[in-house]
């Protein structure tokens, strides 16, 4: 079951009443995990550009939509390699500022959905 995202402020996100003080990945089964941003930092020196390696970690077979909260002001982007990877998997990626991505997450009903939410910048 898809968890409800209650709120976000700079540096945190509240999911089903639990506060997380780090970026999160929500799997299609509804489980919440700490984002493995080191996979992108290793290649780009920053977690603001998602690498192919991180894209491979994010994606699960059958996921049709990925909602990315790109931060409070929207600094996170996909690398060209990550974009190509999600395209190959027929996974539509929606990148929005984190507050807007939360609204999209809570309202979206169709498809198998995963989410990645950056909680700072």
Domain ranges of the chain: 5-118
Strand, helix or coil for residue 31: coil
Centre a 10 Å sphere on the Cβ of residue 101 and count the other Cβ atoms it contains: 25
Structure tokens at 118: 């950056």
Q: Which conformational region is residue 73 in: left (phi greater than 0), alpha (psi within -120 to 50 degrees), or beta? A: alpha
pTM > 0.75: yes or no: yes
C-beta of residue 115 within 8 angstroms of C-beta of residue 65:
no
Q: Which fold has domain 5-118?
A: Hypothetical Protein Mth938; Chain: A, (3.40.1230)
| Rounded Cα distance, 51 and 69, in Å | 16
Per-residue pLDDT tens, the chain, 121 aa: give them: 799 999 999 999 999 999 999 999 999 999 999 999 999 999 999 999 999 999 999 999 999 999 999 999 999 999 999 999 999 999 999 999 999 999 999 999 888 999 999 999 9
């Amino acid at each position: 079951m898809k968890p409800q995202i209650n709120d976000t402020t700079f540096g945190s996100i509240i999911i089903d009443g639990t506060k997380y003080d780090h970026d999160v990945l929500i799997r299609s089964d509804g489980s919440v995990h700490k984002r493995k941003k080191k996979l992108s930092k290793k290649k780009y020196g920053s977690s603001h550009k998602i690498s192919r390696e991180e894209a491979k970690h994010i994606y699960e077979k059958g996921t049709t939509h990925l909602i990315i909260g790109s931060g409070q002001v929207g600094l996170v982007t996909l690398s060209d390699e990550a974009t190509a990877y999600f395209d190959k998997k027929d996974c539509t990626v929606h990148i929005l500022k984190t507050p807007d991505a939360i609204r999209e997450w809570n309202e979206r009903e169709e498809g198998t959905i995963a989410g990645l939410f950056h909680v700072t910048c």
